[in-house]
Amino acid sequence: MRSVENAVKAIDELALFGGKPMFAEPLHVGRPNVGNRQNFELRVADILDRRWLTNGGKYVKELEQRIADLVGVKYCVAMCNATVALEIAIRALGLSGEVIIPSFTFIATAHALQWQEITPVFADIDPRTHTLDPAKIEQMITPRTSGIIGVHLWGNCCDVEGLSEVAKRHGLKLLFDSAHAFGCSYRGTMIGGFGDAEVFSFHATKFLNSLEGGAVVTNNRELAEKFALMKNFGFTYYDRTDYIGTNGKMNEISAAMGLTNLESMDDFIAVNRRNHKQYAEELAGIKGISLLSYDGREKCNYQYIVLEIDQGQTILSRNQLMEILHKENVLARRYFYPGCHRMEPYRSYSPHAGMLLPETEKLVNRVLCLPTGTAVNESQISKICQLLRLLVDNGTEIATRLNR
C-alpha cells in the first residue's frame, strides 16, 4: 500500500466525531473529464465567427460522424441530452402500453416512458452484472407489452443475446439505454449497434461529455430519419411537419466540447483504468467491501468505481459509511437508491412492485460509488481506501458510538 500523509489515523480523529475533514475540498463523484482547452476554445471561436450556433451545424455533423465511426454503426443523431434522446427513440419505435425496464437505473429511463404515458414495468436484475436478467422478463410480459429497454449500467453490457432472444420470441422492440457505456464493448463489438437502437449520454458527469448532450445510434435508416426529424419538431421542410416532434437538438458549443473530449478519450480511459486498478489493490482484503470488476477482455471506460457493502461483515451499514465519508468530504453516492419502483409516481402506481424485485431490493442498500476520473489523484484514492479500511476494522466500535 502507498504511504500517505495526513490519512485518518484514529477513530477519534474522524470528522464524524469532531475531527478535521480528511479533505479540505469536497471530492465529487462525477467531476467532468475535460480535454484540450485550446482545441475547445478554437472551435468555440470558429462557431462565433461563423454565427452558426445550432441546428444542422458543422460540429454536430462532425461529432455524429465520429461517433458512428467509433462505435461502428451506420447512423448517429446527436441530441440535447440522453433523456430527450430516450423519449424520441421510444416514440420513433412506436412503443406503447407497457415497456419492461430495470428498476435499478437512473430515473430518466423510467421517466422517458411515463412522460409519454407508457407504463414502465420493472424487472429484476442479475446481481453479478447489475443489469436486466432475461430470465426474469418473461413473467412480466402481458398483451400490453411493446418493448424492452436494457440498461448497460456502469458500462457493463446487458445480456444482449438473452434479451434479444426474449424480444424476438414475443415480437417486442429492444432499445438500450447506453448512457454509461460509450466506448465499451460486448464480446468484442462496440456497444451502439445492438437492438433497434441505443442511446448514449454525454452529460457533464459521463465518461465523454458535451456539457449536456446525448445521441441515438442505429443501423436502421428509416429509424434514423425519424430520430433526425423528431428532434427538430418533425420539420421535413421550412413550413412542413410530417410527425409530432420536439426540440432535441444539440447545439454547436456542446458538439465542440464533445469533439474535443473525443480527442482525449484514450487518456481518460487510461486514468480511469489506473484508478480502478489502484482501488482494487488498496481495497483488497477489507472484509465486506467488494469492488465491481470489469471484464478485462472487453473495451471499457472504467467510469464508475462501484462498491458493494455487505453489512454483515462491515458492521457499519452502507448509509453509515456514506455519511462518514461525506463528513470527510468524500461525496460518495448511493446510485441508484432507492430504485425507480420506490420513487414517485411509480411507488404509488404499483406499491408492491418490490415483491418481484428481490435482487434490486438487496442491491439498492449495498451500492456505494466513489470518486474517480481525471479530477482525483493517486494520493486521494489512497486516503479514501485507508479511511474505508479504518472504518471497517473498527466497525463495531464506531457503530456503538453512533448508536449511543
Binding residues for ligand T4K, rule: CB under 6 A, are: 28, 30-32, 81-83, 105-106, 108-109, 151, 177, 179-180, 201, 203-205, 214, 335
Give 264 or 314: the residue with its C-beta nearer to ligand T4K: 264
Torsion of CA 96, 340, 232, 50, to 10 degrees: -160
Distance, in Å, from the CA atom of 77 to the CA atom of 232, rounded to the nearest integer, reads 11
What is the nearest approach in angstroms of ligand T4K to the Cβ of residue 135?
Answer: 22
Q: Across the strands, what pairs with 131?
A: 126
What is the nearest approach in angstroms of ligand T4K to the Cβ of residue 204?
Answer: 4
What is the pairing mode between strands 125-126 and 131-132? antiparallel
What is the nearest approach in angstroms of ligand T4K to the Cβ of residue 72?
Answer: 22
What is the nearest approach in angstroms of ligand T4K to the Cβ of residue 61?
Answer: 20
Give 207 or 315: the residue with its C-beta nearer to ligand T4K: 207
What is the nearest approach in angstroms of ligand T4K to the Cβ of residue 211?
Answer: 8
236 residue type, one letter: T
C-alpha distances (whole Å) from 336 to each of 23, 32, 33, 149, 364 are: 25, 20, 22, 17, 6
Give 83 or 314: the residue with its C-beta nearer to ligand T4K: 83
C-beta separation of 341 from 350 below 8 A: yes
What is the nearest approach in angstroms of ligand T4K to the Cβ of residue 369?
Answer: 9
What is the nearest approach in angstroms of ligand T4K to the Cβ of residue 209?
Answer: 8
Give 108 or 370: the residue with its C-beta nearer to ligand T4K: 108
| Helix orientation angle between 318-327 and 378-393, rounded to the nearest 10 degrees | 130
CA 49 to chain CA centroid, nearest Å: 35
The set of cell numbers assigned to 55 is: 441546428
Residue with the CB atom nearest ligand T4K in the bound state: 30
CA angle, 10 then 335 then 342, to 5°: 120
Distance, in Å, from the CA atom of 316 to the CA atom of 321, rounded to the nearest integer, reads 6
Q: Cβ–Cβ contacts within 10 Å for residue 242, how many?
A: 13
Give 216 or 286: the residue with its C-beta nearer to ligand T4K: 216
> What is the residue whose three cell numbers read 478535521?
20
Answer positive or negative: Cα dihedral of 309, 303, 128, 114.
Answer: positive
Task: Report the first-to-last Cα separation within the chain, whole angstroms.
Answer: 34
Give 175 or 353: the residue with its C-beta nearer to ligand T4K: 175
What is the nearest approach in angstroms of ligand T4K to the Cβ of residue 60?
Answer: 16
Give 177 or 361: the residue with its C-beta nearer to ligand T4K: 177
Give 30 or 395: the residue with its C-beta nearer to ligand T4K: 30
